[in-house]
Structure 1
């Protein structure tokens, strides 16, 4: 049986993602007012990207050297639609 080894870096990344989720939750009302129906990217409790188009958001982040796999990406919908994101 193989076991998954969780490194200190993994733990640090998990804590950072938790902090970004808390930032989103705490600031959600203000963010949805400022960026309605837009995709936002949060990294280290900062907004690092905003766009109406997810592909354009990811391309811009990559162009600026931001690792998209480390950012929390959320669509701020003003409706009750459910969105699922699969990043390649």
Structure 2
């Protein structure tokens, strides 16, 4: 004989996304890019890296800003020129 569970199940609660979903810490970005955190600090000072936001002493980068910045760093490959003799 098979037993069928007919007890009502509690409604599954939707958990909200974490507050920092879509954001990357400076240490995580440095590790991912193979750079030091100091390099990212210098880039921030010179405004050459991806844009970031500060929350107290913490620095975070929006994942889409990182992707946009990386795309902007992409360079078209130049055809190889032979040296003239």
Larger radius of gyration: 2
* TM-score relative to the length of structure 2: 0.26
Relative to its length, the structure with more strand (as a share) is 1
* TM-score relative to the length of structure 1: 0.26
Relative to its length, the structure with more helix (as a share) is 1
Does 1 or 2 have the higher relative contact order (CA < 8 Å, sep 6+)? Answer: 1
